Amino acid sequence: MSLFLEISFSAMANGLHNWLAGSISNATLVSVTEMAIAGVSLLLFLVPLCFFLGYMERKVAAFMQIRLGPNRVGPKGTLQIVADTVKLLFKEGLTPNASDKFLFNLAPIIVVVTSMLAMAPIAFAKNFQIWDINIGVLYVSAISSLAVIGILMAGWSSYNKYSLLGAMRSGAQIVSYELSVGLSLISIVILTGSLRMSDIVASQADGWWIIKGHIPVIISFVIFLIASTAEINRAPFDLAEAEQELTAGFHTEYSGMKFAMFLLAEYINLFIVSAIAATLFLGGWMPFHLGNWSFFNNVMDYIPGSLWFMGKTFLIIFIIMQFRWTFPRLRVDQLLTLEWKYLLPISMVNVIIVTMMAIFGWHL
């Protein structure tokens, strides 16, 4: 079953390319058309995904707080997020008179586009990814860093002190925690010897790195979860949007669909962070195997790789959502102290240990 799905994914992409090449004589136009189709397909995937994540967020919050959550609109409240989206569609998009109107309108677009670009090298199944670039890990790290430009642009162009303060907090936070995120990813790159996502997944055919990499990889995984949660501005690191202090932070002045675009980008970033963690530490679409247990391993192989990938990704999403409803928001000094005095030194020492593991072959 899994093999059938993998073959059909590859055949679908190749069939589309051959059909376009036969219909369009210009090779450049064929490439542009394929990119446009990929972009539209990605958008059609991400919008329902964000709807589901919005619903999941509310249900997880309700579970953590021992209440029901959305339960009025649609079966079990499943259409509540759709109702909220319709409300945002019909809300007037206001632009402050004193704002820089061009940058004010451009900021949410930049935030969403950079989030979508980071999806390119993520492998949902074998041979099923938009772009199998040979520097996939570096590409995701670089592209995700560009989102801070849109946030700073939104805060500055709004001509609002709350917005500007939230944007500056976000900039300091993202720049700081990127170091720990990068070092935790470097641990897996050192063990794998490749930056390509497909190579990293293939290296886990005999066991996921979080298992065969011993304690240093587990430390890298924990640091990645903490630092990446801070990098995407989610609680308890949501100082850029602290409602009690800054109204809504960098998007205080936004309404309607412009506000919805920031919300969309937040959920896309949540999915990307979880997908990267699942790919690098939990084997991506690779099934779970136990040594020479042939029967067990064959049963695991029967489950499609795409289901393995999505299952691992949503498990990590659930953990990150639990963070939001478990821990109180940190102060600014606590947030920066956590990174510079604890996470960064631990990450640097951990990278040295992982390097020694790779050199001497101490991993499984």
Residues 32, 37, 41, 43, Cα dihedral to 10°: 50
CB 147 within 8 A of CB 115: yes
Domain count, the chain: 1
- Asked if residue 271 belongs to a domain, the reply is yes
- Asked if residue 263 belongs to a domain, the reply is yes
What is the span of the domain harbouring residue 116? 88-360
- The CB-based long-range contact list for 310-313 (8 Å cut-off, 24+ gap) reads 310/124, 312/278, 312/282, 312/283, 312/284, 313/271, 313/274, 313/275, 313/278
Q: Which residue blocks in the chain are alpha helix, DSSP H? A: 2-23, 27-64, 80-90, 101-117, 136-145, 147-157, 161-192, 197-202, 209-212, 214-231, 243-246, 256-281, 294-302, 305-324, 332-337, 344-360
Cα distances (Å, whole numbers) of residue 9 to 6, 48, 205, 275: 5, 20, 20, 19
Neighbours of 18 (CB within 10 A): 10
Q: Which residues of the chain have pLDDT under 70?
A: 1-10, 291, 363-364
Residue 248 pLDDT? 74
DSSP H or E run through 206: none
Residue 74 pLDDT? 86
pTM of the model: 0.89
- Asked if residue 327 belongs to a domain, the reply is yes
Residue 9 pLDDT? 60
The token duo for 198 is 């497909």
In eight-state DSSP terms, residue 176 is H
Residue 343 pLDDT? 93
**Terminal alpha carbon distance of the chain:** 29
Residue 2 pLDDT? 46
